[in-house]
Amino acid sequence: MKKIVMSMLITSQLLFSSGMEWKSWNDARALSKKNHKIIMLEVVRDGCHYCENMQRDVFDDKAMSDFIQKRFIGVKINIAHQKMPLDIETSMTPTFYFISEDKKIIKTVPGSWNQEDFKSMLEEIK
């Protein structure tokens, strides 16, 4: 039992020690209304190496995740296990949807990006 609890603690520390803090859709909606921030919804799926690259190369970087979180509320949906909000239909992963506080899709961005290009693209979204 102690090994299981210890393993769970280590796993949760690893999950939460990465740079980006992901919110649930419902929490993000509430925060968006309160803080007037755009939701950045990343759509991923199991086994998507492009999704894994984005996580490792972009979202696990503390400086990059801080930059993102100052401007957006991050939500990650795994379409293999979760239903898409707003009846959004998507097949390509990763795909990013930028959603206003009134639930309008401002921009859709498919694909995997390096930090420099992703940051440049994010700076244009208002």
- In this structure, is residue 12 part of a structural domain? no
The Cα 122–Cα 67 span in angstroms is 9
Residue 119 in any domain: the answer is yes
Task: Specify the length of the chain in residues.
Answer: 126
State which residues form the domain around 29.
Answer: 19-123
In a domain, residue 110? The reply is yes
In a domain, 9, yes or no: no
3-class DSSP state of 96: strand
Q: Does 2 reside within a domain?
A: no
With respect to residue 3, please indicate whether it lies within any of the assigned structural domains: no
CATH at 27: 3.40.30.10
- Report helix angle 115-123 to 62-71, nearest 10: 10
| Residue 42 forms part of a structural domain | yes
- Per-residue pLDDT in tens (0 to 9) along the chain, 126 residues: 554 444 444 444 444 455 899 999 999 999 999 999 999 999 999 999 999 999 999 999 999 999 999 999 999 999 999 999 999 999 899 999 999 999 999 999 999 999 999 999 999 998
Residue matched to tokens 């609890």: 5
Residue 4 forms part of a structural domain: no
Mean pLDDT over the full length of the chain: 88
Cα–Cα distance, 122 to 119 (Å, whole number) = 5
pLDDT, tens digit, for every residue of 14-50?
A: 444 558 999 999 999 999 999 999 999 999 999 999 9
The answer for 90, left when phi > 0, alpha when psi is -120 to 50, beta otherwise, is beta
The domain total for the chain is 1
Which pTM does this prediction carry? 0.83
pLDDT of residue 1: 55
Please give the share of the chain, as a percent, with pLDDT higher than 70. 86
Backbone phi, then psi, for 42, in 5-degree steps?
-100, 130
20 backbone dihedrals φ, ψ, rounded to 5°: -80, 135
Contact between 71 and 37 (Cβ < 8 Å): yes
